[in-house]
Chains A and B, each alone.
Chain A
Amino acid sequence: MIYLQGIQKSFKKQPVLKGINLKIEKGEVLTILGPSGSGKTTLLRCLNFLEKPDAGMVQIGNIIVDSENATKKEMLAIRKQSAMVFQHYNLFAHKSVVENVMEGLIVAKKVKKKDARQQSERVLEKVGLSDKLNHFPSQLSGGQQQRVGIARALALNPEVILFDEPTSALDPELVGDVLAVIKSIAQEGITMVVVTHEMSFAREVSNRVLFMDEGVIVEEGTPLEIFHAAKEERTRRFLQRISGETFFTPLKEQVN
């Protein structure tokens, strides 16, 4: 279970998160939507202290950290509760695919090298990359790299996996593969928080959708509630614009 209370964060006196309260149940798949600059990525990064909140309390599993007085040790402890999949993959460039997945197991979880390798190979099989174990990230396509990123997170068997726009940097034709992998993980009952612009993914996979704007949670509900019966004007406007864009893009391309 994840519990956030009064999370605040400013960058250079510009408030980005204005007191976020949030509870995420075990096994829940939560999607965060919102226009750029709404604070959704910052919120995600506050969960594992890649950004240290200015105020508020973060709880993941049985680790509770008061962010104002968070020590390095506490931050490390709470980071070990989660794993993250990044927009730009951020694979360890000098390590092979299997080493990328093993790294966290060996260093942070103190798993023996041999066992770590076995576990890693198993997870990589799950994301369909058994034939790329000894490739370097630079030899893979974006979609393959992101699947390694997902395997790296999955191998740690964390309380929650945080996805930061996992498909935003991918070629459109590769998005499907990666979403399929995320979807299959979601069905295994792993808690996930996903920041995304993929509306279809949010609609089909998540249990709950959260709409953020200007540093606050504007509205939350089931996908059905948000996509078909949003209460707030801002949510409706956002969704309309997004669906409007996807509707008009092919036409625009024809004109050009």
Chain B
Amino acid sequence: MTIDIPFIWVAFKEIIKALPTTLILTIVPLIAGFLIGIAVALVRVYKVKYLYQIANGYVSFFRGTPIIMHIMVIYFGFPLLLDQISLKFGLGIQTNKIPIILFILIALTLAAGSYLSEIIRSGIISVANGQMEAAYSVGMTKFQAMIRIILPQALAQSIPNFTNIFVGFLHTSSIAFLVSQKEITGAANIIAGVNLKFLEAFIAAGIIYWGLTILVEGLSFLLEKKVTAYNRGGVS
């Protein structure tokens, strides 16, 4: 077997068309998961009555099971559930009309929420206790202190961890091809199968993933430098 170098470029041009899908599958779950993550982290840090146990269970389950399983369960289970509800109340929802990507987005969002909540929680705990006391001492409520003093510092410190999760989820989005969503890995698989050139197609896909990752790391580095400037001391 020989390697067909020019075909890598051919495959590259074809696969890159699936880039938007991969980006949607990465960015949407992370943004939605971020909001879930903040809420869950606050509930767990402050041990909010009743919600606390639910939040614990949520994080434990979604971090304790593979993401591929979430996608499968939601992809196969969710339509079933919707059909039952639809039948009972006569809503007339046709589950086969729901785009597949929606199921994947829900599954990835729930997973992202659980991972991000732990990152945010560790960020919150790492902010020195004195910051909260100082906020109280100038007459802030707990909520004001959280929003204005604690969270900005917690999130700024968490940027390297967020980058880690972003890169992880960029690669995890490739699972979507298992339920026939055509993202980068899916596209590579198709062009590989059609031309029977697997090595070349997956090298091309790898280059795209790697390029994206380098880009994200660069952006994160710049952002971190800007946002945590307050922490570095020295004279500006």
Q: Knowing A103-B148, A107-B148 touch, does A50 contact B133 (C-beta < 8 A)? A: yes
Across the interface, name the chain A residue whose C-beta is closest to B130: A90
Write the nearest CB–CB distance from B96 to chain A, whole angstroms.
50
Check B229 for interface membership: any CB of A closer than 8 A. Answer: yes
Write the nearest CB–CB distance from A226 to chain B, whole angstroms.
28
Chain B residues touching A, range = 20 to 34
User: A108 near B133 (CB under 8 angstroms)?
Assistant: no
Residues of A within 8 A of B128 (CB): 90
CB neighbors of A among B157-174 (8 A): none
Q: Knowing A94-B152, A103-B148 touch, does A86 contact B229 (C-beta < 8 A)? A: no
User: B139 near A50 (CB under 8 angstroms)?
Assistant: no
Write the nearest CB–CB distance from A79 to chain B, whole angstroms.
5
User: A107 near B138 (CB under 8 angstroms)?
Assistant: yes
Check B60 for interface membership: any CB of A closer than 8 A. Answer: no
Check B95 for interface membership: any CB of A closer than 8 A. Answer: no
Q: Knowing A108-B139, A108-B140 touch, does A92 contact B234 (C-beta < 8 A)? A: no
Check A152 for interface membership: any CB of B closer than 8 A. Answer: yes
Check B86 for interface membership: any CB of A closer than 8 A. Answer: no
Check B190 for interface membership: any CB of A closer than 8 A. Answer: no
Which stretch (A60-68, A131-139, A181-189, A231-239) binds chain B?
A: A131-139
Write the nearest CB–CB distance from B31 to chain A, whole angstroms.
23
Q: Knowing A86-B130, A94-B153, A94-B156 touch, does A48 contact B232 (C-beta < 8 A)? A: no
CB neighbors of B among A50-80 (8 A): 50, 72, 76, 79-80
User: B131 near A152 (CB under 8 angstroms)?
Assistant: no
Q: Knowing A86-B130, A94-B153, A136-B230 touch, does A76 contact B139 (C-beta < 8 A)? A: yes
User: B133 near A90 (CB under 8 angstroms)?
Assistant: yes
Across the interface, name the chain A residue whose C-beta is closest to B145: A107
Across the interface, name the chain A residue whose C-beta is closest to B148: A107
User: A86 near B156 (CB under 8 angstroms)?
Assistant: no
Q: Knowing A76-B141, A138-B232 touch, does A93 contact B153 (C-beta < 8 A)? A: yes
Residues of A within 8 A of B135 (CB): 92
Per-residue interface assignment for chain B, residues 126 to 138, with 1 indicating a CB less than 8 Å from any chain A CB and 0 otherwise: 0010110111111
Check A83 for interface membership: any CB of B closer than 8 A. Answer: yes
CB neighbors of B among A82-98 (8 A): 82-84, 86, 88, 90-95
Cα-based distance from A73 to B130 in the complex (angstroms): 21
User: A79 near B134 (CB under 8 angstroms)?
Assistant: no
User: A90 near B235 (CB under 8 angstroms)?
Assistant: no
User: A93 near B231 (CB under 8 angstroms)?
Assistant: yes
Tell which of A80, A94, A95, A107 has the most Cβ of chain B within 10 Å. A94
Across the interface, name the chain A residue whose C-beta is closest to B149: A92
Check B236 for interface membership: any CB of A closer than 8 A. Answer: yes
Residues of A within 8 A of B141 (CB): 72, 76
User: B231 near A138 (CB under 8 angstroms)?
Assistant: yes
User: B235 near A139 (CB under 8 angstroms)?
Assistant: yes
Residues of A within 8 A of B234 (CB): 139
Residues of B within 8 A of A79 (CB): 136-137, 139
Residues of B within 8 A of A88 (CB): 130
Per-residue interface assignment for chain B, residues 46 to 68, with 1 indicating a CB less than 8 Å from any chain A CB and 0 otherwise: 00000000000000000000000
Cα-based distance from A156 to B166 in the complex (angstroms): 43
Binding site for A on B (CB under 8 A): 128, 130-131, 133-141, 144, 148-149, 152-153, 156, 229-236
25 residue pairs bridging A and B, Cβ less than 8 Å apart: A50-B133, A72-B141, A79-B136, A83-B138, A84-B134, A88-B130, A90-B128, A90-B130, A91-B134, A92-B135, A93-B231, A94-B152, A94-B156, A94-B230, A103-B138, A107-B140, A107-B148, A108-B144, A135-B236, A136-B230, A136-B233, A139-B236, A152-B134, A152-B138, A156-B138
| 10 pairs of A and B residues whose beta carbons are closest in the complex | A104-B138, A108-B139, A90-B130, A90-B134, A84-B137, A138-B233, A80-B139, A136-B230, A94-B230, A94-B153
Binding site for B on A (CB under 8 A): 48, 50, 72, 76, 79-80, 82-84, 86, 88, 90-95, 103-104, 107-109, 135-139, 152-153, 156
